[in-house]
Each structure stands twice: as C-alpha cells, then as structure tokens.
Chains A and B, each alone.
Chain A
Amino acid sequence: MGAFHCAVCRQTFFCGKKHIFGKSHQSRLKVVILKFIEKVKEARRTIKTPQVERFDGTQHGGTFWCYCCGIEMEKNVTNGNVVVLHGGLLEHMATPEHKKNTQRFWWEYKADPKLMDKVLITTEATDRFKVEVDKALASYVEKEDTILLQHTHMIQCQERHRLEVLQSFTEPEVEQELSNGGQSQGTPVEQAARPLGSKERAGPSRVNAKADGAGPGKGLTFIGHQDPSNDGNVHTGALPPWLQGDPLKEGSEGAEVGPSLQDFLKHKEQEKVKKLPPNRVGANFDHSSQTNADWLPSFGRVWNSGRRWQSRNQFREEEGKKKREKQGESGDSKRMKPNP
C-alpha cells in the first residue's frame, strides 16, 4: 500500500484506492469530466467548418488543461497572422498518447466508460478537419485580398478628388489673393498653380489654408495677420499675458497674496466669538465704537431704581448742577457734599 495521489480530489491517500468509490470522489469526477466534455464539444463543432481569423493576441492566446494527460495545451493554432480556433485541442486529441492517457485515466479513477468516447477524437475526424482547414485558409486569404483591394481603391479615389478640388481652387483664388494684398503666400501660390499637376504633396495643405481665408462667402471673416514680433506667440512658447506683471499695479501692492497676519488673527478671534452663547450679556456691544470724553458706561447707581440709562441721566444732571453752582456765587451755602 503506497502513497496514491488522486489528481481529481487533489489529495494523497495512503489506504489504497477505496476512496474512489466514495461519494466525494465520484461527484468531483463528474464535474471535471463534464467541463472537459463541454470544451471538446465546442471543438468538435468546428471540425466541419473551421473558423479562421486574424490573430489577435488578447483573445486567441488561451491554453487549456487536459486532465487525461496532465498537461497544458494551446487551444488555438496560429502562425502569427492567422489563427485556427480550437486547432490545438483537436490536434492533441488525435494523438495516440492522448488516447492511452485517457484510457488509463478512466481505469484509475473509475469514471463512467460511456463518457470516454466523448473525450476522444478519431484520426479520421482530424484528417477531415485538416482538409477543411486548408479550404478555410484559402477562402480567408481571398477575403483579405478583396478587402485590401477595396481599401486601395478608396484611397486612390480620395487622392484624385483632392487634386481636382485643388485645381478648381487655384484659378479663382489667384485674383482674390492679389486683392487682399499683403499676404505673403499670394505669390508662391500663383507660382505653384502652374506646376500643380506634379506637386501633389503641397496640394491638400494649401487647399485647407486657402479655404479658411476664402472670404465671407465661407462663413469666416478675415481680421488680419497677428504680428507677434515683440512678445512671442503661444507657438513659440512665450509667457502668457496673465502671468506677465501688470505695469499699472506693479510696485504698489507688492507680492502679498491673502490676508495679513493681523487680519488672520482677527478672523480667528471672530471664529471663537461666534461659538459663544448668543444671549450672553453685552453680545451686541460694539467694542470699537469711538466715544467722546463725556461717555459713561451703563451703571445702575446705588440710589436708583429703574432703568440704567436713567441713572446716567441723573448723574449728568447732578454734574450739571454742581458746575453751575461752582460757577455761581461762591458764598452760597447750599452745596452738595461730594462723596469721599
């Protein structure tokens, strides 16, 4: 009784092969075989009509795992440009080693023998497949060629069209260029119009340039050449106007950006104040109001009952009376005794 590694359960058993007849092994086996059969079915479908496509690395590079042989195989066959879908799978299935391995697999793991045929592919089938592949390849190549021809035809038509358009433009435009005046490209276009049949390169670019400046009939208004001689252009990489210093404001404000330290500290204080209860005493007291020398705070005096401003008024009255008495006759006896 040696160590037996069951690839299906992915475990090593030391008690022989009795687990194979158990429930877990059989169910796992069924799942595995089903999955495998699905893949083979799909490949079989393409035996009669193989699919040949242009090779796309992202889609066609996949591999599959052959349970019987225990190896990983390329699913498709490709030569770099063209790929035959499921070609690798079918080829592998036809090899005699694979047949041997499949039989061994079925015997070792006691799988259902009826399903074994589904996994194998006969050599005749593969031969047929190869023939079909050749045919398919030929037709694919033909198709590609026709598409290429179509493309070339289209490109040639476009080129011809461009030439015609350019020719039709250069004749009436020569007069317009001269009338606008000052255009540096006026004279070269004149000269280029004559040998235009040969110069195809210059054709499309000139046509576009002329089409833009062709006058109000085309929906655009020409506003004149922008001469960037001093400051430079966006194309030459000059400094943009909003980064250049303002000649009017320079020197008066300096480089300060944002609030000064004082403002910031004040702002902090204000933030703190906002958090205080709003119904506290003197919440709406204006701390920075300017008052004259006569100002008196709100104070309810000792011998007052009633509002506090009344005490203020009363005090002012008393002060007024005292002053008048002082300024009045000095010998007057009735004097208010001031508090010590």
Chain B
Amino acid sequence: MAAGLMAGFGHYTHAIVRGIPASLASEALRSIQAEVDVTKARREHDAYVHALRTTLGLQVVELPADETMPDCVFVEDAAVVCGDTALITRPGAESRRRETEAMKAALKELNLNVVEMTDESATLDGGDVLFTGREFFVGLSKRTNQRGAEILADAFKDYAVSTVPVMEGLHLKSFCSMGGPGLIIIGSSEPAQKALKIMQQMSDHRYDKLTVPDDLAANCIYMNLSNKGHVLLHCTPEEFPESAKMFEKLKDHMLIPLSNMEKVKVDGALTCCSVLLNKKADN
C-alpha cells in the first residue's frame, strides 16, 4: 500500500554528492576571505561520503567534479527533493546556474518527477529551503527570492510554504536544520533566533528546538533509517566544542560527528554537500 501523505520524514535510500574541483580553493564563492586547502577539503568530503555510504548504507550517486564549477560540491543548492518530486532550482549566484544540469540528469536517472524552475526572475538555492516533514520554510536571502519560493510552493502543493527573511548568513540553513521530526536545531545568534520566532509564528505545527551556541553548528543532517533509527550527522567537538556537547542531549540519536573545517571557509555546511532522497520500490 502506498505510504500515506507526509509519512516517513528522514527516510532516505539514496544520496547524490559531487566531487571537489581544484578550482574550489581559489574560485569558489565565499563571504569571508579565507585560504582553502583543497586536499584537506577532499579528505573531509571523503569522510562525509564514507559515512553516508558505509556507515549508513545509503546508495550514493557520485557526480564528477567540474573544474569550471568551483562550487559544484554543494549539490544541495541545485535541487530540492521531497517525496518523488524534485525541483531543479535556479541558483541565486549566476556562476552556479550550470550546476543544475548534472543534477537534473542524475535525478531523472533515478526516476524522479523532475520539475524545473524556468522563470528567469526566480532564484532559489536549496540551502534556503528547510523542510520539516510537514511544511517548507524558504529563506529569502541574497540567493533566493520570492518568485523562487512561489515556484517551490507550486511544485510541492501538499505543503504549506512560508517565507522567512534571512538577515544574516548566506542561507536559511546556515543557522538551522532539522534534528528530528518536529525538532529544529537553531543557532543562538539574534538573527537565528528571530528567524525561529518567525517560523514558529508561521506554522500550524509545533516544533521543539535545540539551541546550539554556534550558528554554523546548527547545520546538521538528520535521517531516520530503517536499520539505524534516528541519525544525526553534526559538527565535531574540535570545531565547535560547546555546540557538539549539545547534541549529546539527543539520547535516541545515533550521532556521527563530521569535520567540516575546510568547506566551511567557502560557506559550505554539512547539508550542502548532498541531496538525499527516498526511492522505495513502490515509488
């Protein structure tokens, strides 16, 4: 029997990732000037993919890096997948628009119902899209505009789509993410807290929150896997010692710390580096 509507939040079978081009070091977009060590970044990324594939047993689709697309490792921005529908975005940064091509092909390959954002006035980065299992929040940021959010709402008609202004940081998910069904992990900065308030006000649902001292540490990957239960991939104690401690409160979660020290220099967070999807036999 078909799964009911809005069931199975965090159930994933597949992950799409992409390699790191050497051009990342010098050409990838970043909000703060920083030296990036590509080798270290690749090592981090390998650990990340290893966790998805080996530790968690997901089918990982690895797209090859493209030197002409320095930011291509951050696949999250190129597509939003929910259920069996995938929305190919129109990234806010002009230089990143072509990243969607490989993503579209991969998603079609996986037999998803692919919807494209063709409207030239629309921009949307996947990093601005927070899906809670019951609804979407779309950050209106430097990269994402109202029109982009509207198209997303059109693509996922079952769900409420609310907009949240992103005052600081690159993306909405630069300071928050889901830590479980109904659990929002949120940074403690003022803009982050403000955004949370707005999300709570806009929602018909009630969310618990886990506040972590560092905004960047609030970006985690939550999964609910059949053989592992609740899983949370989060920052390491080396990076954010205080925040890492907070995750220990999540007693039911299998906690997997992942280092993200290099990618963060080019505004890459944990969620940025993969697109997760659920491909069951019946879909």
Say whether A associates with B. Answer: no
